[in-house]
Amino acid sequence: MFELDPAFALTSEALPGLALCEARLQLDARFPWIVLIPRIDRAFELEDLSVEERAMLMAEIVVAGEALRAVGAALGRPVEKLNVGQLGNITRQLHVHIVGRRQDDLCWPGPVWGQGTAEAYASETLQMALSAAANVLEA
């Protein structure tokens, strides 16, 4: 039975779920950032998914990218590049990061993982980001 690793609740806020994945907005105002977690028990690597589940995950990664473009536009910081990462070195449950990047962001052109400290969203900005993302994910 699938249970979300409790680590995700500490760093992210739930978004509307997709067919395969839980979707969560990373609570880091530095970057629009979504984490997708396939609802598959004991999946740690992409190879642990079936071919059908992998295709669904790929489709949901692309949708998450669209959602991040909507978040960036809503916050007046359009996304210039998408970054996708599946690491899992710390939190082992299979999850995929999709991050909206800009040339003026704090980590450009390096990756965001393990860099610096998350910045809290102002509560109004967080609501705008959640709403913009949800509109795309629910479509």
- Among positions 6, 90, 104, 123, the unique one binding a copy of itself when judged by CB under 8 A: 90
Residue 49 corresponds to which tokens in the numbers above?
């998914």
Q: How many residues bind a copy of itself (CB under 8 A)?
A: 31
Nearer to a copy of itself, 9 or 59 (CB): 59
Token pair belonging to 70: 């909507």
Backbone angles phi, psi at 7, to 5 degrees: -60, -35
Candidates 25, 35, 60, 65; binder of a copy of itself (CB under 8 A) is 65
2 or 113: CB nearest a copy of itself: 113
Q: Binding to a copy of itself by residue 10, rule CB under 8 A? A: no
CB 69 within 8 A of CB 81: no
Choose, by CB under 8 A, the member of 89, 104, 117, 123 that binds a copy of itself.
89
Q: Does 46 bind a copy of itself (CB under 8 A)?
A: yes
Q: What angle, rounded to 10 degrees, do the helices at 123-137 and 51-74 form? A: 140
3-class SS at 55? helix
